[in-house]
Structure 1
Amino acid sequence: MKWVYPEFLFALLVLVIPILIHLFHFRKYKTIYFSSIAFVKSVEQQQKNPRKIKHLLILFARILAFTCLVIAFAQPYFPTSDTNKKDIRLIGVYIDNSFSMSRIGGQGELLAQAKELAGSIVDKAPRNTQYVLFTNELSGNEKQTLTKVKFVDQVAKVNYSPIYRSQEEILSYWNQWVEDAQKEGNIKSNPALVYISDFQKNNAIYSNKKFKYIPSVSPLLLVPQNTGNLYIDTIWFETPIQKLGSAQTLSIRVVNTGKEAIESAVVSVQIGKLKRDLFAELPSNGSDTVQLNYFNQEAGIAQGKIAINDKQMTRDDAFFFNYEVKKSSSVLIINGEDAVENVGIVFGLDDFYQIKEVSTNQASQENLEAVDLVVLNGLNQIPSNLSTELTAYHQEQGALLLIPGTNVSPGGWNALLNKLNLPTISGTQTVGLGIQKLNIKDPFFQGIFEGKPENISLPAVAKAYRLLSNSKTLSSNLINYQNGTPFFVKGTGKNNAYLFSTSLKPEFSTFTSNQLFSTLLLHAGNLSQRQNPSYLIIGSDGSYPINVNASSENPVHLKYGQIDYIPVIFTKNKRSYLSIQGLEAIRILEAGNYSISQDGKQSGILSTNYNRLESQTSESTGDEIKKSFEQAGIHVNTLSDGSHWNSASLLEIGENYDTWVWFVFFAGIFVLCEMALLIFYKK
């Protein structure tokens, strides 16, 4: 048997006092007048032996009661660890330090309460106990075992983290830690695990994965006073066209996870010099989308910030973004054997477009750099090298407008169309080619027609190529023939790609002389402006194109306020990208608009935001928490709601701490025995 607090055993010395009192107890004599002393002597002899027995029994009861009480305070236990391990006990403690733990609970912020609870656990454990403290970071630094002093010090350093971790990730980390420790011979048995969190539903386990090295867990549920949250979920533009002087609509979705509706939540929007306040009507557990209509009045990069005022989680109350308002857009026209000059003439009508025309054999990777739209004008053959370059260009946000010639080679064309996930060419057709239907509900036609188009003049088509879709096709028919086959197709993949099924030569159609021709070409050009992502998610996204000097020895810097971060730079298809993935970015970066600079020169803006998964506050109930652990094959010892964090010492972190309860029980039994002797024991 060993003791948690052996110093309490010195209190047993106090037992000497009642023993001495019993041994040197002097009776007080009282004079009683009797006619004969013989009567008194007889009475005394009759009561002497029972009285001695009564006093001894009372003394033993008192001694035993006090002894049991002292032993209970010393907290005895029977060690279960291997003797070669010197009876060192190990406890794993997980502290959820996500943003949802910044909410206010009964004892202040939930994270502060969690740290108090974790710190109080050391008061319960033996002095030679070691600890493993881990948070949502799950880094290599958190794999080390800690003494009591170092554990308390590390708990004090725990701070909020934007990292989102599921319950399965946390348990997988601890399960792997225990497995590795056992293989290395550092521990013999499975250590205890204390899991401190607010247990959001979106973190619960939904798979059937079992954790062999986690037989049990002691979960500690921290409950906020207000379970609701108000946050900006996402933003988007109604049209991708960002031209100088163009009209734009910014849509903002605001979410309310609370049980009470909010009639007029103020949404503050700032885009450059423009500042506006919008009002959102938010139902309980619902959302609202507010819109800002404005004009792009200045060219260049526009920086934006949207903010709301929420008293709960504050780190999701702001949303940062940026976009570029362009003065011009570049168009590269690759002319083939059956090219028509009308294509170049149409784009030349608008000063916004900077046009460059080349032949098929002049097209190269250098020509494709920084081009917004590439037009294949009347090509019959598409060489394999050009197909490869166009595919790489399209994957890097480049837009393509494909116009076939009069005698196309299906092999080269279909090789490119398959890579672009567009319908392939399968012969020609001459029947049922009257243009019948425009899919005006498609976003492509947004802003082209005022109201519903009626009596619109449509081109006549005498000959066209039949386009066939397959299982890999990702496209939408914008204009169809009477026979149901497509005339104009738009790819629905990540980047823009457009395909006409007919040549522009007069023997094929009168399309070039129709007003729809210039309308479709110019609108495709407007929608093909290259835009960098409006924002990235810290720790998750890592593909932001930048213009940097690859030969420079100086690194790229991201600067915002006091933050100066050097991101990871990589090259893909001869273009440079930066990444903000990984733990280092999460530790350093905050949500904001960062300047991208190299050699002291600014080359762009990067907007960053936190992951919104933590914003979806919805706590699991006690039964749901137990079920989630049991589904993973883990027994739940005791589930505490953490409402009285001073009771952390009552957590069931092992069988070694149950013995003291029995000594308290027997101390009470002996006290009752003493009382019974005093009351009922008679001569």
Structure 2
Amino acid sequence: MQFKHPELLYALFLLLIPVIIHLFQLRKFQKIDFTNVAFLKRVTIETRKSSQIKKWLVLMTRLLLLACIIFAFAQPFTSKKSNFNTKQETVIYLDNSFSMQIKGNNGELLKRAIQDIIANTSEDETFSILTNDKTFRNTTIKAIKNDLLQLNYTANSLTPEAALLKSKTLFSKQKDVLKNLIFISDFQQSESNFTLKTDSITQYHFVKLNPVNNNNTAIDSAYISERNTTAITLNVILKNSGKTIDNLPISLYNNDKLIAKTSVSIANTAETTFSLPVNEVINGKITIEDAGLQFDNTLYFNINEPSKINVLVINDTDDDFLQRIYTNDEFNYTSVLENQLNYNDIDKQQLIILNELNNIPNALIAALKSFSSQGGSLLIIPSNEANLNSYNALLSHFGSNLNALVNAEKRITKIKYAHPLYNNGVFEKQVTNFQYPVSNNFYTMSSNNAAVALEYEDGKPFLFSNNATYIFTSSLQKDHSNFKRSPLIVPTLYNIGKFSLKFPKLYYTIGANNTFDIVTTLQQDDILALVKDDISIIPRQQYFNNKVVITTSETPNKAHIYGVLNNKETLKKVSYNYDRKESNLNYMTLAPANNLTLSDSIAEIFDNIKSDTKVNALWKWFVIFALAFLIIEMGILKYFK
């Protein structure tokens, strides 16, 4: 038992005064003579005995009465925690990622959690609450009740570590504050193991919400596996957790019109294909019906009208091998001699190839520097008789230099599989033993920011890049190298061409860093926007001479097909889908730790916090006891003879 005003307990010493008075019998009796002394003594003795008992009882009741009054004014209480009078702060993290769509015993986990928070928080209690995409600091349930009831799921999920770190920032910097952090989530298994690092100033309360079952089927991804003159083959991959499904319908829509339907049986994974027409714009949607998570039942994609990449080859030698790679179905291929070049054509290109020029004129150097600065791609194949001064006047713009020509045979033995040219599915597996191409002579080079794609056996570069500029260190003529006959030349040069203009992909993932190019010419103050119905988003964009580079990450935040608009003109369509990592319904096993409370009930956690700091006031009991002793005293005085 503790006291709110313990200083009042000093008044208990005043209780000694009536005790002292009683013990010293300060009252004096008057002496009266009687003839029958023996009888008088007997009566006096009996009266004194009964009087003494009554006085002791009255004294005790009065002392207890006064003591209870003193205790009542001192306001005694009991508390489970010794730091009952410490100021408290409460921060609640509520996971609203898509995995919280799964159903628990009382409906969707997120919706049930919101109802429990509202039901277990008093209207005027101040606390802070955050989700994966919203933060409410120092608020009350009365102020944010409608916001919580309208809370939507988000693709911007946080790892437990990130959520805890963000939650702690909502606590004040004050010392001697009892901090309660309530973490409400399904604790979905993440790529990294989660270990809670507790501290002495924060009490952690983890509420792990459990689904009824882990059954869920998701459209995982889609890709184009084949293109020919008559059809496009679209492959769709599905993943399943829980019970095996024997006949799952899959529907394919174009502009919300059903164009194909099939079904699959699926235990863990399954794959099916659809055939799409060639040279037709497809604004596609693939759907399934599943009672588990809803966000992964739809996958949007689009196939835009085919566009070609402009490739300009400036020659001093034969370019047949380039024409065979940059075919007319994907590229607008133009080949000119250096002395016949129309400089006005340079800004219209996406890729310019210098094919073994002996000398690079100053005018061309200036034009190529400007072209590169405007986002153009450049491929340099040096001549064996190159004027290094003219070459280096251009290459110095990219932080590189070609040095002396070395006449020595070397094999090209190392492929840098992490290089962008080769990390996009060119190779099914990494190979170390293949038919190595050979160079009979090569230029040594120096570079500040070179990303090597192909290496000689001694580690020197055969092909390297700096941003969108690619440089061979050897002539590709058959007298100097057999690289033209190597299988490597096709994916290498083809990808250099394809990377010079990044057409929108089949679809993009919300939350990832996505970049694509839109070929257009903008007027002053024009700006591109991503538009779907009443949603209009202005993405990050960079304008060059003949294209706009668009970059997105967190926005748009809703899966759908968006039009890329310049004013009211639709230039392209791009599709965005939610990240499928939330489809994985595997969960963490939480381990006990200091200052950590584990539960599967939000109500239980709130009750524990309240009981830990609840003050049981006892002053009313002492008032009741005082009244009782007063009644007892009155009874003694009235009825005790």
Q: TM-score, normalised by structure 1?
A: 0.62
Q: Tell me, yes or no, if structure 1 residue 656 matches structure 2 residue 613.
A: yes
Deviation at 1:608, TM superposition (A): 0.9
Q: Which residue number corresponds to residue 195 of structure 1?
A: 183
* 2:301 maps to which of 321, 330, 344: 321
- Aligned residue for 1:650, secondary structure, equals helix
Shift of 1:192: 1.9
1:384-437 Cα deviation digits (max 9, x unpaired): 6567557657x77x4x5543223135677689889999998873446589x999
| Aligned residue in 1 for 2:442 | 465
Corresponding residue for residue 289 of structure 2: 309
Aligned match of 2:538: 567
Matched to 2:105, the amino acid is G
Displacement of 1:567 in angstroms is 1.7
How far 1:164 sits from its partner (Å)? Answer: 0.8
Distance 1:489 1:137, change over 3 A: same
Alpha carbons of structure 1 residues 366 and 268: separation in structure 2 relative to 1, 3 Å: farther
Equivalent AA in structure 1 for residue 538 of structure 2: P
Residue matched to 1:254: 238
Residues 150, 219 of structure 1: alpha-carbon distance in 2 compared, 3 angstrom cutoff: same
Identity %: 19
State the distance in 1 between where 2:486 and 2:84 align.
88
- Give the structure 2 partner of residue 673 of structure 1: none
- Tell me which residue corresponds to 2:475: 502
Which amino acid is the alignment partner of residue 308 of structure 1? I
Amino acid at match of 1:130: T
Q: CA deviation digits over 1:356-392, x for unaligned, max 9?
A: 3456699899745563543221224567656755765
Determine the structure 2 residue equivalent to 1:163: 156
Q: How does 1:132-147 map to 2 (within 5 A)?
A: 132-139=128-135, 142-143=136-137, 145-147=138-140
- Unaligned runs of 5+ residues in structure 1 are 4-48, 54-59, 65-70, 448-455, 665-683
The one-letter code matched in structure 1 to 2:116 is L
Secondary structure of the equivalent of 1:340? coil
Return closer, same or farther for 1:168/1:413 CA change in 2, 3 Å cut-off: farther
Please give the alpha-carbon distance, in whole angstroms, between the structure 2 residues aligned to 1:476 and 1:325: 34
Look up the match of 1:282.
267
Aligned pairs for 1:227-242 within 5 A: 227-238=214-225
Provide, for residues 309-343 of structure 1, a one-character-per-residue CA deviation record: whole Å limited to 9, x for no partner: 321111122222224452644221123xx333646
Q: Name the SS of the counterpart of 2:114 in structure 1.
A: helix
- Taking the aligned partners of 2:583 and 2:409, their CA distance within structure 1 comes to 57
CA contact (8 A) 1:264 1:282 kept: no
| Aligned mates of 1:97, 1:510 — CA distance in 2 | 58
Q: Does 1:620 align with 2:588?
A: yes
CA distance in 2, matches of 1:581, 1:543: 9
Q: CA deviation at 1:578?
A: 3.8
TM-score, length-scaled by structure 2: 0.65
Asked if 1 retains the 8 angstrom alpha-carbon contact of 2:511 and 2:553, the reply is yes
The aligned counterpart of 1:103 is 102
Give the 3 Å change call, closer, same or farther, for CA 428–654 of structure 1 in structure 2. Answer: farther
Determine if the alignment matches structure 1 residue 114 to structure 2 residue 122.
Answer: no
Equivalence for 1:31: none
Check if 1:174 corresponds to 2:174: no
Q: Aligned partners of 1:223 and 1:656: how far apart in 2?
A: 28
**What is the SS of the residue equivalent to 1:652?**
helix
Secondary structure at 1:192 match in 2: strand
**Which residue of 2 is the match for residue 453 of structure 1?**
none
Structure (1/2) with the larger strand percentage: 2
Corresponding residue for residue 48 of structure 2? none
SS at the partner of 1:543?
strand
From the superposition, tell whether residues 229 and 404 of structure 1 become closer, same or farther in structure 2 (CA, over 3 Å): same
Stretch moving more, 259-268 or 96-105: 259-268
Amino acid at match of 1:355: Y
Q: 2:630 — aligned with what?
A: none
Q: Please say if residues 557 and 564 of structure 1, whose CA atoms lie closer than 8 Å, have aligned partners that are also in contact.
A: no
Q: Cα–Cα, structure 1 residues 210 and 146, in superposed 2: closer, same or farther, change >3 Å?
A: same
Unpaired runs of at least 5, structure 2: 5-52, 58-63, 69-74, 427-434, 622-641
Q: Aligned AA for 1:537? A: T
User: Aligned-pair distance for 1:297?
Assistant: 1.6
Amino acid at match of 1:245: T
Change (3 A) 1:605 1:153: closer
Partner of 1:224: 211
Residue 518 of structure 2 is matched in structure 1 by 546
Where 1:115 maps in the other structure, the secondary structure is helix
Q: What is the CA–CA distance in structure 2 between the aligned matches of 1:251 and 1:371, rounded to whole Å?
A: 33
| Contact residue 340 and residue 378 of structure 1 kept, 8 A | no
Displacement of 1:227 in angstroms is 2.1
1:125-170 CA-to-partner distances (Å, cap 9, x unmatched) read xx7531222211144xx22x22342254443232322221112222
Question: RMSD in angstroms over aligned alpha carbons?
Answer: 5.6
Question: Do the aligned residues in 2 keep the contact of 1:421 with 1:473 (CA within 8 Å)?
Answer: no
| Alpha carbons 2:183, 2:204 under 8 Å: kept | yes
Note the C-alpha offset of 1:507: 6.0
Q: 1:224 to 1:429 in 2, by over 3 A?
A: same
Distance (Å, rounded) in 2 between the aligned partners of 1:469 and 1:118: 63
The alignment status of 1:150 with 2:143, answered yes or no, reads yes
Q: Is the alpha carbon distance of 1:148 and 1:519 closer, same or farther for their aligned partners in structure 2, counting shifts above 3 Å?
A: closer
1:599-618 matches, cutoff 5 A: 599-618=567-586
Q: What is residue 566 of structure 2 aligned with on the other side?
A: 598
Q: 1:26 maps to what in 2?
A: none
Post-superposition shift, 1:112? 1.6
Instruction: Specify the structure having the higher radius of gyration (Cα).
Output: 2
